[in-house]
Structure 1
Amino acid sequence: MDGGRGISNLSEWAHSLLTLSPERTLFVSGGESVSSTAFHEQVSLFRGGITRAGIMPDQIVAVACERNLRSVAAVFACFCDGALPFLFDPRQDPETCAKLFDSLRISGLVLGENQESGFFASRLPYLKWSGEIHGVTPKTGVTAQHVAGGFLLHTAGTCGLPRAFQHSAAAVNWQANALIANLRLKPGLETWFTGSLASPANFSFALCATLKAGGTVVLDEPENALHEEPKLNGNQRILVMAQARDEESWNADRLLKLKGRLSSILVTDFPLTESYCTTLISATDGVVWSGFSTAECAGFLALNTVPGVWPVESVGRPLAGSEIVIFGNDGEQLGNNQPGRLAYKFAPRPEKVTSLTFQGKEQSSPFTFTGDWALVDDNDFLYILGNEKALFFKAGFIVKALEIEDAIRNASGLSDAVVFAVHDDETESEIAAVVSFTGETTRLAEAISILESRIPRYKVPERLAQIESFSRTPSGKKKRFGFATPPKYAPVEKAAVTSPEHGEGN
């Protein structure tokens, strides 16, 4: 549903989410399922308001982070039109919010249910729009003019003047992918949130990960509604606990009533005691994930506090208290602007329960590898070059799997492919390909010969297997994993290919 290659552009991703699967349930609000079509109608109204107010791409619209469809629709309207949504906590003091809005020079403002627009209008005379959507002409389609990639902004902290953080589309994509991988999110999952949704970073990134994975975000309060839900039958239901008071309000009695109704729990923003860890584990048959923010649980390390200077291709700078290192294949630490394997570690937190360390696993090394190829530039901005499954070393060069797949699709007789690495030692890899073939098998050697004339020899697959067609996810994406290692390809044998058997992931 995200085009198969990630959230490279927030505007295009949002539009595809609204249009590609019209009947898909994106949200549950007030006990009612909200389809992509119904949500699209609400987003179109907010887009009409943005257009009528004359808000241009790259201008900021502040949106109160509340438990309702209105807030989420306003965020997606900003995505579609290239405006920058700024999620803020509506519980903050109005004067504090006004100071923050003024420092960012916002152009639009979608307030919470209990906030007064007049107060902010008197303090922000340059404000173009106060979130009105009555009588506007709905707007659909993709806006041609928008910030390349797009940004998502949010507040952090409720004491004093909170800080404003921003995230590029590359950052949102990495965060979502990390949560999907670490929480093993699958299509059809449900994500619930305790307490107020006014923790913008936790809500916004869990929302993006859930929708990207093909799931549904439940906006209803879980305190009572969760107990009425049917028990799980192979489905996923995740409870995100992101309020400091959750440990008190979600006690053992309440959690144990949810036994069989939760597949996993994600705990953020408060330290876990050993006794409460035991309570959480008792409430679910799945994994309990813990971290001091959704970002940490996802392995997402990058934030930026200086809007306007973040390169859009970068995922940002490291979080305070974290250390990023780029390693070469032989284990040496690399310098700036050198691509390699991304690893990180967080500063020790003595209050953190050792039995529930990062990603729910004991760490034997101070560094955790993310599974990404990356580099850090001279200004400490982090760039993700690709996943280790899609980017690998061959003959001393970095090889992109997608580049080879594109070449295969353009070769005579080959319709599609999945390319991955088979590691033959610590530094080198063999290139393997599973292909679907439109012609006769005996002409496969001819197709490979054409491929060799178009790409360097070291990029031509050395292992090859053939299937009739690729399996697809419910959102239409090609399934890329679960193939057995293909056999060595011998051109002289012409038809020396076999169908791969599905087994463990490569």
Structure 2
Amino acid sequence: MTVISQILYHSKQNPHKAALITDCGLTITYKELILNISKYAFYLDSRGIVTGDNVVLSATKEVEFVFLYFAIHLLGARAVIVDPESNKQRLNYIIDQTKPSLVFGFGINEMNFISYNQIIVTEIISDIERLVLSIKNTSICDILFTTGTTGNPKGVNLTQSNIMHAVININTYIGTNENDIEALVLPICHSFGLGRLRCVLAQGATLIMLGSFANLKLFFDCLQKYQVTGLGMVPSMWNYIYKFSGKRITQYSSRIRYIEIGSAAMDLNSKKILSDLFPNVRICMHYGLSEASRSAFMEFHEDVLHLDSIGKPAPNVEIEFFSESGEKLPIGFEGELCVKGEHVMCSYFDEVDNINTYYGNYFRTGDWGLKDNEGYCYLVGRKKELINVGGKKVSPVEIEECINKMDEVIDNICIGIQDVNGILGEVVKTFVKKKSGSMLDSLQIKSFVRNNLETYKTPSFVEFVDKLPITKSGKKQRLLLH
């Protein structure tokens, strides 16, 4: 079973049901979706695309992207998913790594670069059912590049089996069904948004592809017009919606069945506000990576006593914590979070990146934490980002959350730097973005942290900045700072 085989199934069972709706009102039924996938597959075939070829796609929320994405799968080729706003350096890096046969969606005037509006499709590929049935579960179909928060971006190879098992795990936990209508405000160039696309279509539900969540009028009009039952968002999106519209969204709470949140950490206060505003909505927050999509889940109402955790392993997933020497640790001992499951990537694109990637069958995430005796998993930070102050492991997240409680602070990022005195090994440095006109100084920040956390967690250095390196999905790029 593959995602595209599920789409084919729904095109027969409910051919006239809406599969996709764009923000300009264009509706694509399941029958039209499979027909267009067939047409785009014929187009790719006519351009010489064969099994194993890499095809770069600018992941915009246009129907052409969806058609091409599944057409590439149909031919046994590989979709290299790229952020449409990638800078030239990143785009060139990905192209140099993957050596694609074709590049779609960037509008750059080069021989193998094709804009979506340049594609002309006419004929359909013959015997689509045979092609769907011939797709191998073990074949690589997607290549996603990490955001590079811990070094150069890594290409993540995902097979048909990987993405289908992720769909099964996610839909099992969240409960998305064929009657749902989901508004997609997430970018689809990353694992979260692309995963929502797959989950909804594999289930035979309807996906509304909205442009930017920043257009709140369009967002609320969509909730009203289409009777939306499901949402996916990163914490920064929720903060934006709540900041500029307050409790307005709750007028739709009686129809919304589920909200999925992920890609970045969310503070406890925001979790509690969401829970209070949506008392009868299933609010699911995931933990995952491009390499292992949605490996853990928590539900705000069910796990109210463990809101500071990342929840428990997702369905069909195992999570264990390992020591630095690769030994599985008992309950309560801190170690590296490692994941096992059919959803875990088959490999990295570059063979060099596959060195020391696993402990046995467990993928090493690079995140540091522990599991309690109830099975809940807790994070203390990324292994590479933990600050070693005099032999004590300090989580930058804990200090950042503390500093962010100060009224005049917008956000901050903490890192470890070398102790120039040669005593502690590392000390804490924080980069702080404060509110316009604020007179906040470094001494006040140090005093606040010292009064709320252990003394050794107090920043030795404070630098005020106008901008912090944070990805669009809300991940802090600590390793870019020094």
Cα deviations by residue, 1:31-87 (Å, 9 ceiling, x for unpaired): 343201222333233212211111111211111111221111111111222111121
2:20 corresponds to: 27
**Match of 1:97, as an amino acid?**
L
2:426 corresponds to: none
**How many angstroms apart in 1 are the aligned matches of 2:34 and 2:362?**
31
Cα deviations by residue, 1:234-256 (Å, 9 ceiling, x for unpaired): x87221113x6325422255252
2:123 corresponds to: 137
Does residue 174 (structure 1) correspond to residue 165 (structure 2)? The answer is yes
Cα deviations by residue, 1:334-389 (Å, 9 ceiling, x for unpaired): xxxxxxxxx9956445759xxxxxxxxxxxxxxxxxxxxxxxxxxxxxxxxxxxxx
Does residue 241 (structure 1) correspond to residue 229 (structure 2)? The answer is no
1:209 corresponds to: 199
Is contact 1:47–1:77 with CA below 8 Å preserved after alignment? yes
What secondary structure does 2:232 align onto?
strand
**How many angstroms apart in 2 are the aligned matches of 1:181 and 1:135?**
37
**Match of 1:134, as an amino acid?**
I
**Match of 2:349, as an amino acid?**
P
2:146 corresponds to: 156
Instruction: Give the gaps of 5 or more residues in structure 2.
Output: 298-313, 318-338, 355-360, 382-394, 399-482
Distance 1:21 1:262, change over 3 A: closer
> How far is the alpha carbon of 1:21 from its aligned partner?
3.0
Instruction: Give the gaps of 5 or more residues in structure 1.
Output: 1-6, 122-126, 326-342, 353-506
Instruction: Give the alignment partner of residue 165 of structure 1, picking from 156, 162, 165.
Output: 156
**How many angstroms apart in 2 are the aligned matches of 1:128 and 1:226?**
32
**How many angstroms apart in 1 are the aligned matches of 2:272 and 2:370?**
32
1:105-504 aligned within 5 A: 105-111=99-105, 115-118=106-109, 121=111, 127=112, 132-134=118-120, 136-140=122-126, 141=128, 142-143=130-131, 146-150=135-139, 151-157=141-147, 161-194=152-185, 197-221=187-211, 223-229=216-222, 237-242=229-234, 245-252=236-243, 254=245, 256-259=247-250, 260=253, 261-284=255-278, 285-293=280-288, 295-297=294-296, 299=314, 301=339, 302-307=344-349, 317=363, 319-321=365-367, 347-349=379-381, 351=397
Distance 1:145 1:169, change over 3 A: closer
> How far is the alpha carbon of 1:174 from its aligned partner?
1.8
**How many angstroms apart in 1 are the aligned matches of 2:260 and 2:34?**
29
Does residue 95 (structure 1) correspond to residue 89 (structure 2)? The answer is yes
What secondary structure does 2:57 align onto?
strand
**How many angstroms apart in 1 are the aligned matches of 2:348 and 2:29?**
37
Is contact 1:179–1:206 with CA below 8 Å preserved after alignment? no
**How many angstroms apart in 2 are the aligned matches of 1:250 and 1:303?**
33
> How far is the alpha carbon of 1:95 from its aligned partner?
3.1
**Match of 1:303, as an amino acid?**
M
Is contact 2:180–2:205 with CA below 8 Å preserved after alignment? yes
After TM superposition, the score normalised by the length of structure 2 is 0.56
**How many angstroms apart in 1 are the aligned matches of 2:52 and 2:115?**
18
Corresponding residue pairs, total: 314
> How far is the alpha carbon of 1:89 from its aligned partner?
0.9
**How many angstroms apart in 2 are the aligned matches of 1:205 and 1:281?**
24
> How far is the alpha carbon of 1:26 from its aligned partner?
1.0
What secondary structure does 2:28 align onto?
strand
**Match of 1:47, as an amino acid?**
A
What secondary structure does 1:206 align onto?
helix
Higher Cα Rg, which structure: 1
Is contact 2:43–2:121 with CA below 8 Å preserved after alignment? no
**How many angstroms apart in 2 are the aligned matches of 1:90 and 1:308?**
23
**Match of 2:55, as an amino acid?**
V
**How many angstroms apart in 2 are the aligned matches of 1:230 and 1:97?**
35
Instruction: Give the alignment partner of residue 78 of structure 1, picking from 62, 69, 72.
Output: 72
**How many angstroms apart in 1 are the aligned matches of 2:107 and 2:224?**
42
**How many angstroms apart in 1 are the aligned matches of 2:175 and 2:68?**
29
Is contact 1:62–1:86 with CA below 8 Å preserved after alignment? yes
> How far is the alpha carbon of 1:197 from its aligned partner?
1.2
Distance 1:186 1:148, change over 3 A: closer
**Match of 1:239, as an amino acid?**
L
**Match of 1:166, as an amino acid?**
N
Is contact 1:48–1:133 with CA below 8 Å preserved after alignment? no
**How many angstroms apart in 2 are the aligned matches of 1:214 and 1:321?**
35
**How many angstroms apart in 1 are the aligned matches of 2:94 and 2:204?**
35
**How many angstroms apart in 2 are the aligned matches of 1:163 and 1:174?**
22
**How many angstroms apart in 1 are the aligned matches of 2:171 and 2:71?**
24
Is contact 2:177–2:205 with CA below 8 Å preserved after alignment? yes
User: Cα RMSD between the aligned structures?
Assistant: 3.7
**How many angstroms apart in 1 are the aligned matches of 2:121 and 2:199?**
33
